[in-house]
Amino acid sequence: MADGTATEAIEGVSHSGLADRVTRLRTLADSIDACESADELYERCVTPDGHVLDFDAAIVATVEADVFVPRAAYTTQLRPTEPLADDGGIAGATLASGTTTVVDDVRTEAAANPTGPYRSALSIPFGEDVLQFHHHEPGAFSQVDREFGELFVSIATSALDRIRYERARDRERDQFAALFENVPDAALSYRVEDGVKTIQAVNSAFVSVFGVTGEDVVDEPVSSVVRPSATDSVSEPHSTGEIGRRADVEVTRQTVDGPRPFLLRNVPMRSDDEVTRGYLIYTDLEALKARERELERKNERLDQFASMVSHDLRNPLNVAAGYLDLAREEHDCAELRSIEQAHRRMERLIEDLLSLARAGDTVDEVQPVHLGTVAREAWDNVSTTDAQIEIDGDAIVEADPGQLLGLLENLFRNSVEHGSTSSQGGSRPDDSVEHGSTSSRPKVDDSVEHGSTCQSTTIESPATGNHPATDDHPSTDDGADTAVSVRLGSTPDGFFVADDGPGIPPEDRERIFESGYTTAEENTGLGLAIVDQIREAHDWDATVGVGVDGGARFDFVTGEPSFDLTDTETGESSSDSIDTETDESSFDSTDTGVGESP
């Protein structure tokens, strides 16, 4: 036996012996390449018949949970042993170094842990595994054996990589085929040959929608299977540029149920060859179109309702108001004043119903809006008596100006009518929630709050009666109540409206945006419902909580950062404080004073 050097090993093997080994290696490579699974390949690696090496035992082991686990083994004398750690023995050294190890006698090898009658070993790294050959005789594996063994393992490694690639490809192909077959939309796969798009496969939804079978349409042109309706001039993509581009287009196609609208989606696929392939997906829009038509009918009915409310209800109300004025000229009494108050509530109810009907569920177009400018206009449009508003800066938000104006008007009205305790001689502790009400009577808990660091300004108003003392709304020493102060400001992601009124109890905050919800019989309960509808139309988020002064605070997250227009010289944002002193039924802009807030 050769002593291990390459020269002596080659010299010790005859040319015919080397030629025989090469022939066996070629035959072994063919059998390895024919393997269809990793397990089959591992078994072939350790089978001695026709092998390029002479051995008495062989094993392929991989590492699982930090120990070597056999994948395939051949032995004439099986002797069970404890699992070998991945860093132990000759196998661990081979895996760690990534190089082949030849051991002439395992009994004298320090790293070896012999458990059987085998004396010599050839240990070769096999990807992430280890392939070992054992022999009863010491020094059984020469340098030639080592080189043939490494060559054999390189062939087996390539075959194993191919098997794993094919397995992953087949698994992905099967998953995609299952997805293609079970997608709810009608779909077909195509390939382009000589400029003609031909069908390669269709899914079950396509068969159901277009009334064809796969066998009948495969290799047929798409244009002969899927036909446009008589009124649709849009065809499937056919030019080179159209076929190679992902595109969505609405089309109408003939189906088993007649013409139907679809969203046609072209999904081109990259291919290794020169053939253009892709998918056409037909998403049925019939249900969506039906909902659109139903929405149009509902909008028409809403318009008719708004016209009826505006004309048919206001006309008799105006007649009644005229006769009331004549009656009060002859004899003014408490009963006639109650009738006038009822007329005002009816007028407010009509206005709220019209606003609710016209607000809409979506916003067609938004634009950058100066929040402070719209807020001043909204304040002018609200009967605010002697309340005060403080506008902290001039934030910019993306909104529909008209709908933002309506949102702020209803928020301001809610704060003024339920935060100011001077507008009515008394209040009830249960008058806690008010939504766009026309009544000027205050409510102890009738505001919305949210935690904040903003500051509000309190403006005193002439007292007209006593207000019950509570923790949230204590009475003044002289029994006089105070008018509400409202503040509007920007946040990093939107804006807020806060007041220093009595606030809303936590148990009422989840219901305040419900249409018709109110704790006061004289209120409509629609004001904050309008606010919520406008918010939803803009896709904003809103939270309700406690302000810094214990009053109501509405926070709106508008979806994009708002920012303040600041003074270019001082770098400070402007803050306007507006006092109003008007009668209950009107607002005159000449009575508004604008000045710097403290």
Same fold, 6-167 and 183-284: yes
Q: What is the dihedral of CA 314, 320, 323, 328, to 10 degrees?
A: -110
Token pair, residue 537, equals 């139309």
* Mean pLDDT of all residues in 209-230: 85
Distance CA 233, CA 252 (A): 9
Output the pLDDT for position 460: 36
Distance CA 37, CA 166 (A): 10
Token pair, residue 329, equals 């000229």
Bridge partners, 259 (sequence order)? 254
CA of residue 245 relative to chain centroid, distance: 26
Output the pLDDT for position 515: 65
Query: What's the pLDDT band for 479 if we cut at 50, 70, 90?
Result: very low
Percentage, residues of the chain above pLDDT 70: 72
Q: What is the CA radius of gyration of the chain?
A: 43
Q: End-to-end distance of the chain based on CA atoms, in angstroms?
A: 105
Distance CA 73, CA 404 (A): 78
Strand 552-557, strand 276-284: pairing: unpaired
Query: What's the pLDDT band for 16 if we cut at 50, 70, 90?
Result: confident
**What amino acid is encoded at 465 in this protein?**
G
For 536-576, how does the pLDDT look when each residue is reduced to its tens digit (9 = 90+)?
888 899 888 888 888 889 999 987 655 554 443 334 444 45
Distance CA 435, CA 515 (A): 9
Q: Find tokens 């009509």 and name the residue.
A: 350
CA of residue 241 relative to chain centroid, distance: 32
Token pair, residue 411, equals 């928020």
Helix 527-537 and helix 401-419: axis angle, to 10°?
150
Output the pLDDT for position 457: 32
DSSP E strands: which ranges in 371-484?
388-392, 395-399, 459-460, 482-483
Query: What's the pLDDT band for 165 if we cut at 50, 70, 90?
Result: very high
Enumerate the domain spans of the chain: 6-167, 183-284, 287-362, 364-596
Output the pLDDT for position 482: 65
Output the pLDDT for position 342: 81
Query: What's the pLDDT band for 134 if we cut at 50, 70, 90?
Result: very high
CA of residue 21 relative to chain centroid, distance: 63
Percentage, residues of the chain above pLDDT 90: 21
| pLDDT at residue 2 tops 80 | no
What DSSP character marks residue 572? P
* Mean pLDDT of all residues in 340-360: 72
Distance CA 92, CA 103 (A): 14
DSSP E strands: which ranges in 100-256?
101-103, 120-126, 129-135, 186-193, 196-202, 247-255
Distance CA 384, CA 579 (A): 9
Output the pLDDT for position 497: 92
Distance CA 546, CA 549 (A): 8
Burial class of residue 180 in the structure, from the number of CB atoms within 10 Å of its CB (0-12 exposed, 13-18 middle, 19+ buried): middle
Distance CA 534, CA 556 (A): 11
DSSP E strands: which ranges in 449-492?
459-460, 482-483, 485-491
| pLDDT at residue 461 tops 50 | no
> Domain 183-284, what fold?
Beta-Lactamase (3.30.450)
Q: Write the CATH number of the domain with boundaries 364-596.
A: 3.30.565.10
For 493-541, how does the pLDDT look when each residue is reduced to its tens digit (9 = 90+)?
899 999 888 887 787 777 777 766 665 555 566 778 888 888 888 889 9
**For residue 458, which of 383, 376, 556, 548 has the smallest C-alpha distance?**
548
| pLDDT at residue 154 tops 90 | yes
- Average pLDDT score, the chain: 75
Q: What is the DSSP track for 305-341?
A: HHHHIIIIIHHHHHHHHHHHHHHHHH---HHHHHHHH
| pLDDT at residue 32 tops 80 | yes
| pLDDT at residue 451 tops 60 | no
Token pair, residue 441, equals 């009577």
Instruction: Pick 464 or 227 by higher pLDDT.
Output: 227
Instruction: Pick 31 or 548 by higher pLDDT.
Output: 31
* Mean pLDDT lowest among 178-187, 225-234, 418-427: 418-427
CA atoms within a 13 Å half-sphere pointing along the CA-CB vector of 590: 0
Token pair, residue 533, equals 């509808």
Contacts of 60 (CB under 8 A, 6+ apart): 42, 45, 46, 70, 71, 72, 73, 126, 129, 130, 131
* Mean pLDDT of all residues in 326-333: 85
For 76-108, how does the pLDDT look when each residue is reduced to its tens digit (9 = 90+)?
765 656 788 888 888 888 989 999 999 999 888
* Mean pLDDT lowest among 215-229, 302-316, 318-332: 302-316
Answer whether CATH 2.60.120 is correct for domain 287-362: no
Distance CA 63, CA 225 (A): 55
Which CATH code, of 1.10.3720.10, 3.65.10.10, 3.30.450.40, 3.30.450.20, is assigned to 6-167?
3.30.450.40
Answer for the pair 456, 547: CB distance below 8 angstroms, yes or no.
yes
| pLDDT at residue 333 tops 60 | yes
| pLDDT at residue 269 tops 50 | yes
Helix/strand/coil percent split, the chain, to 5: 35, 25, 40
| pLDDT at residue 581 tops 70 | no
Distances in Å between the Cα of 491 and the Cα atoms of 399, 409, 453, 554, 555 are 16, 20, 11, 12, 8
Distance CA 122, CA 58 (A): 9
Helix 38-46 and helix 143-182: axis angle, to 10°?
170
Output the pLDDT for position 107: 85
* Mean pLDDT of all residues in 46-70: 90
Backbone angles phi, psi at 581, to 5 degrees: -135, 95
Bridge partners, 85 (sequence order)? 67
**For residue 537, which of 561, 559, 516, 510 has the smallest C-alpha distance?**
559
